[in-house]
A and B are shown apart, each in its own frame.
Chain A
Amino acid sequence: AQTVTQSQPEMSVQEAETVTLSCTYDTSENNYYLFWYKQPPSRQMILVIRQEAYKQQNATENRFSVNFQKAAKSFSLKISDSQLGDTAMYFCAGEYGNKLVFGAGTILRVKS
């Protein structure tokens, strides 16, 4: 079975600083995809960034980047220049068999 683990229930960061959210996963598949989703209080899940497992280069989307360590099965999210609007729940997810398996989430609070 595929699993996704987020070990940080809550994180805080000062505005304009950098924060890293951790995620580990377990799968026996060779080809898979990993995602970070953001869920603000409105409940709308928004895709932040995706990574294809067979690509060695870490994905980057503006202030968001990942550190993908395939051998260690680790997939962390780095948010640079944190903004108040980044405050939300963040979920790490893996796509296996056309469906998403989510971690338990990390609440991120950006403080002014």
Chain B
Amino acid sequence: GAGVSQTPSNKVTEKGKYVELRCDPISGHTALYWYRQSLGQGPEFLIYFQGTGAADDSGLPNDRFFAVRPEGSVSTLKIQRTERGDSAVYLCASSLVVGGGDNEQFFGPGTRLTVL
């Protein structure tokens, strides 16, 4: 079946602009995660959803970042007033349920965001 998909693949924007990044999880997966991967580093956790609710948003760096998952499937990561430091690859993952190492997180190919 289809894996996790993310759109767009690449996004170039100007400093101060608003961007939205979309994630389509694997069908039937209840949990959805967002990570940010800066150049040369490992991914860093941003937020995860269990169903429609954000269960843990402790990784969001500041209030310019916001994510939603209104129907418990597709999620959108929203970044307001973008800064050059927001440039990174944004990875989305989904898992069948939350919790436990048996619940493998399946990753999408990421969106590369470049803020000029």
A interface vs B, CB < 8 Å? 4, 32-35, 42-47, 50-52, 91, 93, 95, 97-105
Contact = CB atoms under 8 A, between A and B. Distances in A.
A99 B93 CA distance: 11
A32 B107 CA distance: 20
B41 A105 contact: yes
Given A33-B101, A43-B89, A45-B91, A99 B45 contact: yes
Interface of B: 31, 33, 35, 40-45, 48, 55-56, 59, 89, 91, 93, 98-101, 104-105, 107-110, 112
8 contacts: A33-B100, A43-B91, A44-B107, A47-B105, A97-B56, A98-B31, A98-B56, A99-B33
A95 B104 contact: no
Nearest to A43: B110
A32 B84 CA distance: 35
B95 to A, nearest CB: 9
Given A43-B89, A100-B35, A105 B56 contact: no
Contacts of B42: 4, 91, 93, 102-105
A9 to B, nearest CB: 9
Given A42-B109, A44-B109, A100 B45 contact: yes
Contacts of A52: 101
Contacts of A32: 101
A4 B89 CA distance: 20
Contacts of B40: 104-105
A74 B56 CA distance: 28
Contact of A50 (B31, B56, B59, B104): B104
B88 to A, nearest CB: 12
Given A45-B43, A91-B42, A98-B98, 11 more contacts: A34-B101, A43-B91, A44-B109, A45-B107, A47-B104, A98-B99, A99-B33, A100-B35, A100-B45, A104-B41, A105-B40
